[in-house]
Homo-oligomer: A and B are copies of this chain.
Amino acid sequence: MTDNSRDFQLQCPLPIRRYPRVMVAHGGGGRLMNDLIREMILPAFDNPILSQTMDSASLRVPAGRLAFTTDSYVVKPLFFPGGDIGSMAVYGTVNDLAMIGARPLFLSAGFILEEGLPMETLWTVVQSMKRGAEKAGVTIVTGDTKVVDRGKGDGLFINTAGIGVLEHSLEIAPSQVKQGDVLLVNGDLGRHGIAVLAAREGLEFETSIESDSAPLADLVLTLLKGGIELHCLRDLTRGGLASALVEISEQAGLGLTIQEKSIPCRPDVRAICEVLGFDPLHVANEGRMVAFVPAEQADHALALMKGHEQGKDAVRIGQVTGVDCKGQVTLRSVIGANRLVDMLSGEQLPRIC
């Protein structure tokens, strides 16, 4: 019996456990759905707003600007080293809020369950969301559960939407990127994509590769509190660092140059990428971001990052160079050669988030 199974048997209330698998009726708006919500969801996300079980949550938010975002999570498999769909569904949306400098406050959670999903799986994911929300400092205040018939889903999809508050007056966006800005990333690249791929394909490596999945809002707030005038932030999810940089470069109308030798990537991850034909620049991360900061603040920003749990391996990877170089991202290789970095047409590793 796994730890999860033991916890499930000991902690999951009987009205839930007596149905070992999710049934269509669990999404039907009747007694079974009520049980699912009252016995599993409400106790996990325990808070007075959600517990009112109204059609909408009623929230008090400070006056000013709010951030609002959404993401659906369809990662396959649901569990992988370093994370699972539940923690990811919390951190991913928290990170989207953080990328405009918002303090995340509230999340919604929408579940699309496939008939036949083991109830233990759902319970384990919900517990993971609970812990993720605690770690990220957000409250899950409203939700929805739908069940689709067997063969019409893939176990479990989760959508979260998030509301955050902007406590600064900066506009953190590609339009604010300026020539000379320095590019920082908060840690090594590529672990999330490789960890999910390995779990999906049953690959075994000599070393253990765990996803980098993590909430980044507190790191961003630390930079803001430290007086860093953040020009632009982007989390390096689908499409990896390459897509993020090309997009920002296109939107800013400025060229970027990054140094290959500064791109942080663990040797084992780099080796696996080489064997599988992936470029770490394109592999997705779930706890990594690029920050564009004014050159004169770069050292201070880097020091602040290094002092934070989510940025202890932060490095400077490049700078904003040419004007009139819309979309031009140059990688300066170790031997001094330059190559242009491009966005892929799709994703080399589908369903990693």
Task: Return chain B residues, CB-CB under 8 Å to A102.
Answer: 56
Tell me which of B151, B343, B350 contacts A27 (CB under 8 A). Answer: B350
Q: Decide if A58 is an interface residue (CB 8 Å cutoff).
A: yes
The answer to whether A208 has its CB under 8 Å from any CB of chain B is no
A70 contacts which chain B residues (CB < 8 A)?
A: 108-110, 142-144, 159, 161
Select one of B32, B58, B63, B147 contacting A63, CB under 8 A: B63
A238 beta carbon closer than 8 Å to chain B: yes
Assess whether A34 is in contact with B343, with CB atoms less than 8 Å apart. Answer: yes
**How big is the A interface, by class?**
35 or more
The prevalent SS among residues of A at the interface is mixed
Given contacts A55-B96, A68-B56, A72-B110, contact A27 B347 (CB under 8 A): yes
- Knowing A144-B70, A146-B72, A153-B153, say if A110 contacts B343 (CB, 8 Å): no
Give A272 Cβ to nearest chain B Cβ, in Å.
Answer: 20
Bound Cα distance A153, B109 (Å)? 19
- Hey, what's the 0/1 contact readout for A157-171 against B, CB within 8 Å counting as 1? 101011110100001
| Cα–Cα, bound, A61→B343 (Å) | 36
Given A161-B108, A173-B52, A345-B31: A69 and B243 interface contact (C-beta under 8 Å): no
**A266: which B residues are within 8 A, CB to CB?**
none
Residue in B26, B31, B147, B345 whose CB lies within 8 Å of A30: B345
Number of copies: 2
Q: Which residues on the B side are within 8 Å of A243 (C-beta)?
A: 29-30
Say yes or no: A56 contacts B142, CB within 8 Å: no
List the B side residues contacting A62 at CB < 8 Å.
63
A67 interface contact, C-beta 8 A: yes
Listed in ascending order, the chain A residues whose CB lies under 8 Å from chain B are 23-34, 52-74, 76, 95-97, 99-100, 102, 106, 108-112, 141-144, 146-149, 151-154, 157, 159, 161-164, 166, 171, 173, 234-235, 237-239, 243, 247, 251, 284, 343-347, 350-351, 353
7 nearest A-B pairs in the assembled complex, by CB-CB distance: A25-B346, A29-B238, A28-B347, A161-B161, A29-B239, A28-B346, A63-B63
